[in-house]
Chains A and B, each alone.
Chain A
Amino acid sequence: MISVENLTKRYREVTAVENVSFRCEPGTVTGFLGPNGAGKSTTMRMICGLTPPTTGTATVKGVPYRRISNPGRHVGVLLDAAAQHSGRTGRETLALTAQILGVDQKRVGQMLDRVGLSTKAAKRRVGGYSLGMRQRLGIAQALLGDPSVLILDEPANGLDPEGIHWMRSMLRDFADRGGTVLLSSHLLLEVEAVADRFVVIAGGRVAAQGAKDELLTQPTGVVVRALDGAALQSALAQAGLSARPDGQGAFVVDAPAEAVGRAAAATGTVLLELRQASGGGLEELFLSLINPSPADAPTVAAPAPQETLR
């Protein structure tokens, strides 16, 4: 379990993270989404006790990370796959970690197998690894202590499609066995398939968070279609409802279905369709949240208050 409460990190002039709060429950995979520079890595470093927060607190399994005696046995962390000594072999890198954690050196070989690094690759220096191999090594390192919580920063970076698929099933399996996963990405596509919850961060603030289906069914108005489009348009105008054509003969109206129905009934317009507009897919939501433009603003309802989504 990870709990982040009102985390803020201010550097001299820049506020990197502002008042960020969220929780990751056991058995779930939380996708931590945001464009580059949104504050994802800073937040994760604060969770892991590497960056002191200006204000706010973060706990893992109920205690601040730095209060965990042997953190690697509880929390598997991969913050930057590139941050390995280029002169050490993959196997040596893991052997050192195993020694610090106090786990059996046999686990080194097991984890190398699990992440798909061959014996031959493990004998090579990390300096000669591709980014994808480094990610696999980093994930092996995170799993070495048999943790119940995983914190991974951009783990899919540099992985090939097969690698991304492998990582998804590995994380899904980890969560299904009761583990807690927090993984960040700047690409929604990478985490959409595996995450059950999302925390979207932009400009250092949480733009939206919630379960995947909650975010997807954000009401964005109603779609209404009538036998006579022009009549419907004037009916809506008479009722003072702003409508815009959806390009397929229907109108999208930012009003409750009842108001639209009454407006149509008042003028005797025959409706063919009146329904809640479906969310435009997570991708659209993600893009609108991280990059709000005036044109998009009315189509996406403000995210529901975070408290209700917890």
Chain B
Amino acid sequence: MTAITAPAALLEPARPSLVRLTAVELRKMIDTRSSRWLLIIISLVAVAMMPVVLFAVPKQDQTLLEFFTASQVGVSILLPILGILAVTTEWSQRTALTTFTLVPERPRILAAKLIAGSVLGALFACVGLAVALIARTVGELMGRSDGSWSLSPGRFGVTVLLAVVMLFMGIAFGTLFMNSPLAIVLFLVLPIVWSTLGGMISKLKGPAGWLDTNLTLTALTEPGITGEEWARAGTSLAVWMLLPLVIGTIRLIKREVK
């Protein structure tokens, strides 16, 4: 039993480091049945996309990049959902009570979740690269693929960045709404509504080019990214990622944990 000590001694033992918290949050993302299935499905989608490229894409377009981009389809759709759930299950399962009792500095938990999610995103990019390499080799052996083998580090980096950005958006939505169904539905529906409105109403076309993440982020997946494309992506992310994250963090700090 710890001896009764002076107030200053309560700085000991030290608070858990961000690395430790990140390891814990990463573990929490993969230690439940639902999250494990989500991870398995993301991996399966990567594998399942390979035959699609092999049999549906013209021979000369079957580049390593093409395979790699296809492998990340599941990541871009499902990893943000994992991010949303990483935040919202704390409230639906009420584990927030334990989490924030053990770590009263709530933004540190959020930071740990963001980093843990980034690690997962990077991991999936590596898995995707491995799957793409195998698929491109198989295509070569079958005589179906004739595209380039080159995949620049910049391309790979942008892909990881996109995965991380989408995940951050998920975590931001989860933190803002703190409710799984609401966050997931809005996360999926809002961009569609935006794209539909942007397509229908001509006055919205201009702003949509700067605010619709569907448009701004897709531009980043194509070769040769211009400064303006970065600026458009940045602007849209400020609205859809940064703003919900900031408001969500304020909500998180102020919220009563029950």
Chain A residues packing against B (C-beta within 8 Å): 1, 26, 45, 48-52, 61-63, 65-74, 77, 79-80, 82-88, 92, 96-97, 99-102, 125, 141, 146-148, 177-179
Asked whether A69 lies within 8 Å of B95 as measured between CB atoms, the reply is: no
Contact of B95 with A72 in the complex, beta carbons under 8 Å: no
Q: Could you tell me the distance between the alpha carbons of A65 and B10 in the complex, rounded to whole angstroms?
A: 10
Q: Mark B239-258, 1 if CB is under 8 A from A, else 0.
A: 00000000000000010111
Given A51-B256, A84-B93, A84-B95: A68 and B10 within 8 A (CB)? yes
- Among the stretches B11-19, B39-47, B211-219, the one at the interface with A is B11-19
In this assembly, does B221 line the interface, its C-beta being within 8 Å of a C-beta of chain A? no
Pull 11 A–B residue pairs with CB atoms less than 8 Å apart, ordered by A.
A26-B4, A50-B258, A66-B104, A71-B101, A73-B13, A74-B10, A79-B101, A83-B96, A99-B23, A141-B98, A148-B4
- Check A45–B98 contact: CB distance below 8 A: no
| Bound Cα distance from A9 to B15, whole angstroms | 29
Q: Which of B25-33, B49-57, B126-134, B135-143 contacts A (4 or more CB under 8 A)?
A: B25-33
Are B15 and A69 touching (Cβ within 8 A)?
A: yes
B24 engages A77 (CB within 8 Å): no
Cross-interface CB contact of B31 among A1, A66, A88, A146, cutoff 8 Å:
A88
How many Å lie between the Cα of A147 and that of B3 in the bound state? 10
CB distance from B146 to the nearest CB of A (A): 47
- Do A45 and B94 have beta carbons less than 8 Å apart? no
Known: A1-B4, A69-B11. A87 touches B97 (CB 8 A): no
Choose one: A26, A51, A71, A92; the contact of B104 (CB below 8 Å): A71
Q: Tell me which of A49, A85, A92 has the highest count of chain B C-beta atoms within 10 A of its own C-beta.
A: A85
Contact B16 A84 (CB under 8 A): no
| Given A61-B7, A68-B10, A100-B103: A83 touches B98 (CB 8 Å cut-off) | yes
Contact B13 A70 (CB under 8 A): yes
Q: How far in angstroms is the closest Cβ of chain B from A146?
A: 7
Indicate if B5 sits at the interface (CB-CB under 8 A): yes
Q: Which residues of B contact A179 (CB under 8 A)?
A: 1
Is B6 among interface residues, defined by CB-CB distance under 8 A? yes
Residue of A nearest to B31 (CB): A92
On whether A102 and B33 interact (CB within 8 A), knowing A72-B102, A148-B4, the answer reads no
Residues of B within 8 A of A (CB): 1-7, 10-16, 20-21, 23-24, 27-28, 31-34, 89, 93-98, 100-105, 254, 256-258
The answer to whether B256 touches A50 (Cβ under 8 A) is yes
Question: CB < 8 Å: which of B2, B20, B105 contacts A99?
Answer: B20
Contact flag A69-B12 (CB < 8 Å), given A74-B2, A85-B89: yes
Minimum CB–CB distance for A36 against chain B, Å: 15
Which of chain B's residues have a CB closer than 8 A to the CB of A82?
A: 94
The residue on A at minimum CB distance from B97 is: A83
Cβ B7 vs Cβ A100 within 8 A: no
> Within the assembled complex, what's the spacing in Å between the Cα atoms of A101 and B13?
9
User: Are B93 and A86 in contact, CB atoms less than 8 angstroms apart?
Assistant: yes
**Chain B nearest CB, measured from A50 CB (Å):** 4
- B24, B96, B258: the one contacting A96 at CB < 8 Å is B24
Query: Given contacts A83-B98, A85-B95, are A100 and B21 in contact (CB under 8 A)?
Result: yes
A50 and B101 contact, CB distance less than 8 A: yes
For residue B20, which residues in chain A have a CB less than 8 angstroms away from its CB? 99-100, 102
Given A61-B5, A61-B7, A99-B24: A87 and B33 interface contact (C-beta under 8 Å): yes
Tell me whether A146 and B10 are in contact in the complex, defined as CB-CB below 8 angstroms, given that A99-B20, A100-B21, A100-B102 are known contacts: no
Closest to A147 in B: B2
With A and B bound together, what is the CA distance between A186 and B93 in angstroms?
25
CB-CB under 8 A from A146, the residues of chain B are 1-2
Measured CA separation A92–B95 after assembly (Å) = 13
